[in-house]
Amino acid sequence: MMDDNLDYLKDKNILITGASKGIGRCLAMNLSMHKANVILLAKNEDLLDSLYDEIKEKYDTNPMIIRCDLSELEENKAQEIANVISKNYKCLDALINNAGILKKMSSIHDYDLNSWEKVVNVNLTSAFLISKYLLPLLMDSELPRIIFTSSGVANKGKAYWGAYSVTKAGTKNLSEILNDELSSIPNFKVFNFNPKETRTEMRALAYPAENPSLVKIPDELMHYYFWMLSEKSTSSSKIHIDFGDEI
């Protein structure tokens, strides 16, 4: 499953949303280790600066920070993101729509509109806008990829998961629509990846009584992302990948 030769990542330009923490931060460090240029998008400036400095200190790559609160993203800002990337890189090789918030665990009856709208904006609307405005930059890549970080509740709604479950079902459908619309573009692949139980702040919020030492760390997910970014995945007919699947 694991490809020891990751030279294909060298000089790839990869945007990661939600890059400052959890799976996004782990992706940023691992991709940088293999000489990819990561574009770090998140809202926490201090965490972004710290991550950027660590990457510059450890690896000879060309990272970039884009500070953005995805709950407030609109079309003009999405276009600005595309513009700044195009000014700094010749193309975009991959977009990893990883950002997500849970906000609260609540019955629908007790779910407030403010929380609902924020979760929908961060998890679904921003993924639509960023995918839409970055598609022209991805078209210039030899091996373009869009990857959505998904969840098991995308497939079946569960009590108290509220807007999070709804948005993950929405991004699952969005990935399928994009995959269908882009199927005629050579080498363009769209993936929806479910990492399953992973040790993150969001997981701790959803399962406060769980012992985190019994949950896998984000590093254990990386070979799936590496495969999705590789030429090997181009011939795959799979669009939905779950942790534990044979690839």
Query: Mean pLDDT lowest for which of 31-45, 154-168, 211-225?
Result: 211-225
Q: Tally Cβ neighbours within 10 Å of residue 159.
A: 10
- Does 62 have pLDDT greater than 80? yes
- Does 75 have pLDDT greater than 50? yes
- Does 14 have pLDDT greater than 80? yes
Confidence category of residue 216, pLDDT binned at 50, 70, 90:
confident
pLDDT > 90 fraction of the chain, expressed in percent and rounded: 81
pLDDT score, position 1: 44
pTM of the model: 0.94
Q: Provide the β-strand partners of residue 97.
A: 148
| CA pair distance 40, 1, nearest whole angstrom | 27
pLDDT > 70 fraction of the chain, expressed in percent and rounded: 97
Using one digit for the tens of pLDDT, what is the confidence trace for 132-177?
999 999 999 999 999 999 988 888 999 999 999 999 999 999 999 9
pLDDT score, position 202: 67
pLDDT score, position 145: 98
Using one digit for the tens of pLDDT, what is the confidence trace for 83-126?
999 999 999 999 999 999 998 899 999 999 999 999 999 999 99
Which residues are marked as active site?
164
Q: Tally Cβ neighbours within 10 Å of residue 68.
A: 20
Residues 131, 97: contact at Cβ < 8 Å?
Answer: yes
| CA pair distance 83, 65, nearest whole angstrom | 14
Q: Which domains does the chain possess?
A: 7-242 (3.40.50.720)
Look over the chain and give the mean of its residue pLDDT values, rounded to a whole number: 93
- Does 10 have pLDDT greater than 70? yes
